[in-house]
Amino acid sequence: MKEAEAMSCLPSQMPHLRPGSERTERIDRFAWTVGMCFDAFDVRIGVRSNEPLLLERLEPCLPPGWTPVASPVVDQLFSLWVDDGRGPGRRLHRVYAGRASRLRTPDLGQALDVLESEIRQCVAARAPERVFVHAGVVGWRGRAILIPGRSRSGKTTLVAELVKEGASYFSDEFAVLDRQGHVHPFAKPLSIREGPCEVHEIVRRRHPGELGGRSAPGALPVGLVALTAHRAGAGWGPSWLTCGEAVLEMLAHTVPARLRPEACLEALGAVAARARVFRCERGEAWEAARALLGMLEETERSPCRETGEEEMR
């Protein structure tokens, strides 16, 4: 298994940050006993813990496409301290990103969820050759549909309906763009929320095959960008954007926008130059999914974009 190759069980082989990086001496003194190092999108990451049995539960927390590395020297270091309950007081598991405490909780499952989220956000912010945009993504007949949006805007619900309609699954969280504006798979399981409200909801992980769909095999050019969020009873009335407007709208959802603005603008500009981009509210996800597929097919039959084409010439 991958984690068997990646884990390092000797203290001298524990993952550690490059010299001159963030100082973590305060938590380095803890009795870490197991660690693993891996690469994801050219970001080298280490994870360590005091609980050897935890490694069996770590692999689902790692980003899609991760590969183990032998060197203990990493760019980013995450730590999960498991409280065995032997000490006085309340049992609290702790998650660290570098030296910063991210969570203290009695729920180990919650600690693993936060660790997973922290690792993904780290990769999204620091991948040197890719631009990560908060978006759901599917493929349809050789083109991709991007659905940028913040958490709870309905991205996953809409992506799930598109997959049920036969679209290939890229991601329900990130659009991973290269400089040419092509989007690459980031095929984590879909995180489908179920329940009457946020307080009582349950998040279930579903693979595209469980929805009757499939994962995308590789990168695609973007054909359509839908800046849409759910509102009960909303009609379908797309408002098309110019290239400049499209870039600004997508930039608001782009993770490394402040760290690497030039690379982000290059990738987003490449998307906006070739894809049609619109904004609108949507009602039911299944209706919006069918509308999106129809719009993409219509776009492919059209000789050029209706708006913003002259802007890029």
Domain annotation for the chain: domains and CATH numbers: 2-126 (no CATH), 131-312 (3.40.50.300)
Name which of 131, 121, 118, 251 is nearest 184 in CA terms: 131
Q: In whole angstroms, give the CA distance from residue 68 to residue 145.
A: 31
Burial class of residue 273, CB neighbours in 10 A (0-12, 13-18, 19+): middle
Report percent pLDDT > 70 for the chain.
Answer: 88
CA 293 to chain centre: 23
Burial (CB count within 10 angstroms: exposed 0-12, middle 13-18, buried 19+), residue 170: buried
For residues 158 and 205, the model is more confident at 158
Q: What are phi and psi of 21, to 5 degrees?
A: -80, -170
pLDDT surpassing 60 at residue 311: no
Q: How confident is residue 117, by pLDDT bands cut at 50, 70 and 90?
A: very high
Tens of pLDDT, residue by residue over 155-197, are 999 999 999 999 999 999 999 999 999 999 998 999 887 655 5
* Cβ pair 255, 308 in contact under 8 A: no
pLDDT at position 102 is 96
According to DSSP, residue 177 is labeled: E
pLDDT higher than 90, residue 234? no
Quick check: 38 pLDDT over 50?
yes
E-strand ranges in the chain read 7-8, 16-17, 34-40, 43-49, 67-68, 73-74, 76-81, 93-97, 100-105, 131-140, 143-148, 168-171, 174-177, 182-184, 190-194, 202-206, 214-215, 220-230, 239-240, 276-282
pLDDT at 34: 92
Residue 9: the pLDDT is 43
pLDDT (0 to 100) of residue 191 = 87
Say which residues have a Cβ less than 8 Å from residue 244's Cβ, sequence separation at least 6.
272, 308, 311
Residue 284 pLDDT more than 50?
A: yes
**Across-strand partners of 73?**
16
What integer pLDDT is reported at residue 308 of this predicted model?
40
Q: Which residues contact 162 (CB under 8 A, 6 or more apart)?
A: 138, 140, 145, 289, 292, 293
Contact predicate 170/186, CB 8 Å: yes
Q: What is the mean pLDDT of residues 281-296?
A: 91
What is the reported pTM?
Answer: 0.88
Q: What is the mean pLDDT of residues 44-65?
A: 90
Task: Write down the mean pLDDT value for the chain.
Answer: 88
Tokens 């000797």 -> residue = 10
At 301, the pLDDT band (50, 70, 90 cuts) reads: low
Is 50 exceeded by the pLDDT of residue 37?
A: yes
What pLDDT does 99 receive?
93
How confident is the model over 9-21, as a mean pLDDT? 71
- Residue 278 sits at φ, ψ, to 5 deg, of -140, 165
pLDDT at 210: 93
User: Considering Cα of 34, then 173, then 103, then 123, what sign does the dihedral take?
Assistant: positive
- pLDDT (average), residues 137-162: 93
